[in-house]
A and B are shown apart, each in its own frame.
Chain A
Amino acid sequence: MKQEEINFGKSEQFNLTMIPGSFARRMRKNIIWQFFRFMVINIKMLIVVSKSH
């Protein structure tokens, strides 16, 4: 059984939502992708900050 499918069976609460698969989990830890996301999130946060002042 795939890891993401294990928890679906643990409770009704879990069964009715979504759980990330292996690709999504790998991308969360992928340094290159996360560095890119780091830049994107920072820029977005700076825009939010500038809109708030």
Chain B
Amino acid sequence: MARLIIMGGGVSGHTTATFAKKWLGDEHEVVVVTPNSQWNWIPSNIWVGVGQMEKKDVVFPLAPIYKKAGIDFRQALATEIHPNGKADDDTPYIVISSTEEGKEGQTEELSYDYLVNATGPKLNFDATPGLGNGSGGLSGNTVSVCTADHAVHASEELKEIFAKAKAGERQKILVGTGHGMCTCQGAAFEYIFNIEHEARKANVRDMLDIKWISNESFLGDFGMGGLHMKVGGYAVSSKLFAESLYAERDVQWIIGAHTSKVEEGKIEYELLDGTMHEETFDFAMLIPPFGGVGLKAYDKDGSDMTDTLFAPNGFMKVDAKYDAGAYENWKASDWPVTYQNPTFDNIFAAGIAFAPPHLISKPMTSPNGTPINPTPPRTGMPSGIIGKAVAHSVCDMIKKGKDVHLHEASMADMGAACVASAGKGLFDGSAAAMTVYPVVPDFEKYPGTGRDTNYTFGEIGLAGHWIKHILHHMFLYKAKLKPGWTLIPE
């Protein structure tokens, strides 16, 4: 019997674990180690953040689902990896620290045959002074929608802003990125237009100044270097598509910005031209930068070998080309294909946890030397697809031997669908629905835009809004492993 341990129970880890258990059956053991007792459909946190959904609508407890599936669930934080085992035992193992109520901090060693790192990111609020509280959490200066609890808090704060606006007090809302190296602009993008939509519904739009701030060098970069899509018979840049939406909804924007400091009601930021500025706000939702979760790796003799397994940003090294050099040399083939660690063939990383070879967007630095550019998005659909491919590879290795051909899921050969929906009603909402293929542009395969413009498109309307509703229910259904869950694609 082989034991597969998956660290992390988010989109990628949950996908890996559930498919691996289905394919391996009871002959082998699948263990999930995650500090959270609940699974969260993160895209719908946006609706929680504007009070259109409750926390219970976007989370469910993992324990009963894993019990039903036959997966060993450990509510714990993985802290150490010992890929070569101990001095007197070669069996690799990880160290976990319980987060279960009543057992907090209790440590345990878990041996493994295969290990999948799907921890997701650390929300690095402390990277920006005043954005974090100095202990890894969110300060009270801004709100967040990164977790369901954050979104609930954001909704309560937003309610107060709307109440003040209704009482005739003009309010300033600022939404975007809280650092020059953030990713996940899409979530902030969706949140700002949900706020705008709800403000119209509440008849307070005229009393709100809504502003976007982002580390993108142009609107519509989305961490993917922008994209070209077919709209109305034209192939247009996402810059025009995004600017049009902001102008239509009367949302001003600040771009190429590194938020360097956050205080109560005020941020300081540096622009790509090196100038420093301030912006005041009554309500701000700023996405933090992502980092690795801080896992450490140790050799048999106890020496630190974290650098062998992880890149300096804390994400796990996989089969990517990390020495691609300057932007001009970047290729689609730099991106990982199998997500296998180059040093240990029984370790994989999936979803946000893998270290990308470089940015997708063009790197930008201010004259002061501050990097201001979005980091690559690896959430949602790519996370799920990578998780499934990794599960397939590990299952094949367990069943057929280590020399099997591994399954491939390069982001340079993978599309992504993104629906940013405003509102929740079936007929009064609207959404920007976008697909991009591939996520990482391949200029050798698609000279010009780097992408297939037949399958890279975007449009605004009710249709995308309906799709967002369907995705919400469909992915929660799938994650709960209800009948036919395997038929729903990632």
CA distance A14 to B242 in the complex (A): 11
Q: Which of A11, A17, A53 contacts B489 (CB 8 A)?
A: A53
Tell me if B464 and A41 are in contact (CB < 8 A).
yes
Tell me if B248 and A44 are in contact (CB < 8 A).
no
A2 near B: Cβ within 8 Å?
A: no
Tell me if B459 and A37 are in contact (CB < 8 A).
yes
Tell me if B385 and A38 are in contact (CB < 8 A).
no
Within A3-22, which residues are at the interface with B (CB < 8 Å)?
Answer: 4, 7-8, 10-11, 13-14, 16-20
- CB contact under 8 A between A28 and B489, given known A49-B415, A52-B414: no
Chain B window 155-199, contacts with chain A (Cβ cutoff 8 Å), 1 for yes, 0 for no: 000000000000000000000000000000000000000000000
B81 near A: Cβ within 8 Å?
A: no
B276 near A: Cβ within 8 Å?
A: no
The tally of residues in A whose CB lies under 8 Å from a CB in B reads: 33
Tell me if B455 and A48 are in contact (CB < 8 A).
yes
Tell me if B462 and A28 are in contact (CB < 8 A).
yes
Q: Which of B46-54, B127-135, B349-357, B430-438 contacts A (4 or more CB under 8 A)?
A: B430-438
Within A36-53, which residues are at the interface with B (CB < 8 Å)?
Answer: 37-38, 41-42, 44-53
Q: Which of B246, B437, B464, B490 contacts A51 (CB 8 A)?
A: B437
CA distance A33 to B427 in the complex (A): 13
Interface size class of B (residues with CB under 8 A): 35 or more
Within B389-442, which residues are at the interface with A (CB < 8 Å)?
Answer: 409, 413-417, 427, 430, 433, 435, 437
Tell me if B463 and A14 are in contact (CB < 8 A).
no
Q: Which of A10, A46, A51 contacts B250 (CB 8 A)?
A: A10
* 11 further A-B pairs in the complex, CB-CB below 8 A; given A38-B467, A52-B413: A11-B252, A13-B246, A16-B243, A18-B247, A19-B244, A34-B466, A38-B462, A45-B435, A48-B437, A49-B381, A53-B385
CA distance A34 to B469 in the complex (A): 15
Tell me if B243 and A45 are in contact (CB < 8 A).
no
List 11 A-B residue pairs with CB atoms under 8 Å apart, sorted by A's residue number: A7-B248, A13-B253, A17-B243, A18-B240, A18-B244, A29-B461, A29-B462, A34-B461, A37-B463, A48-B416, A50-B489
Smallest CB-CB separation from A45: which chain B residue? B417
CA distance A44 to B427 in the complex (A): 23
CB distance from A47 to the nearest CB of B (A): 6
A-B contact count (CB 8 A): 96
Residue with the highest number of chain A CB atoms closer than 10 Å, among B243, B246, B247, B489:
B247
- 8 residue pairs, one from A and one from B, having the closest CB atoms: A48-B415, A14-B247, A17-B243, A38-B463, A28-B461, A37-B463, A34-B462, A52-B414
Tell me if B248 and A19 are in contact (CB < 8 A).
yes
CA distance A51 to B413 in the complex (A): 8
Residue with the highest number of chain A CB atoms closer than 10 Å, among B414, B460, B462, B464:
B462
B283 near A: Cβ within 8 Å?
A: no
CB distance from A2 to the nearest CB of B (A): 13
Smallest CB-CB separation from A37: which chain B residue? B463
B339 near A: Cβ within 8 Å?
A: no
CA distance A21 to B114 in the complex (A): 57
- CB contact under 8 A between A52 and B461, given known A7-B248, A13-B243, A20-B248: no
B310 near A: Cβ within 8 Å?
A: no
CB distance from B252 to the nearest CB of A (A): 6
| B interface secondary structure, majority | mixed
Tell me if B462 and A31 are in contact (CB < 8 A).
yes
A positions within 8 Å CB-CB of B: 4, 7-8, 10-11, 13-14, 16-20, 27-29, 31, 33-35, 37-38, 41-42, 44-53
B222 near A: Cβ within 8 Å?
A: no
CA distance A47 to B435 in the complex (A): 10
Tell me if B247 and A37 are in contact (CB < 8 A).
no
Question: Which A residues lie within 8 Å of B462 (CB)?
Answer: 28-29, 31, 34, 38
Question: Which A residues lie within 8 Å of B409 (CB)?
Answer: 52
Tell me if A13 and B385 are in contact (CB < 8 A).
no
CA distance A28 to B490 in the complex (A): 28
Within B67-82, which residues are at the interface with A (CB < 8 Å)?
Answer: none
Question: Which A residues lie within 8 Å of B433 (CB)?
Answer: 41
Question: Which B residues lie within 8 Å of A11 (CB)?
Answer: 252
CB distance from B439 to the nearest CB of A (A): 9
Question: Which B residues lie within 8 Å of A13 (CB)?
Answer: 243, 246-247, 252-253
Tell me if B248 and A51 are in contact (CB < 8 A).
no
CA distance A19 to B248 in the complex (A): 6
CB distance from B4 to the nearest CB of A (A): 21
Q: Which of A10, A28, A42, A48 contacts B460 (CB 8 A)?
A: A28
Tell me if B247 and A7 are in contact (CB < 8 A).
yes
Q: Which of A19, A42, A53 contacts B247 (CB 8 A)?
A: A19
CA distance A43 to B356 in the complex (A): 30
B66 near A: Cβ within 8 Å?
A: no
B281 near A: Cβ within 8 Å?
A: no
CA distance A46 to B437 in the complex (A): 12
Question: Which A residues lie within 8 Å of B466 (CB)?
Answer: 34, 38
CA distance A23 to B178 in the complex (A): 37
CA distance A32 to B381 in the complex (A): 29
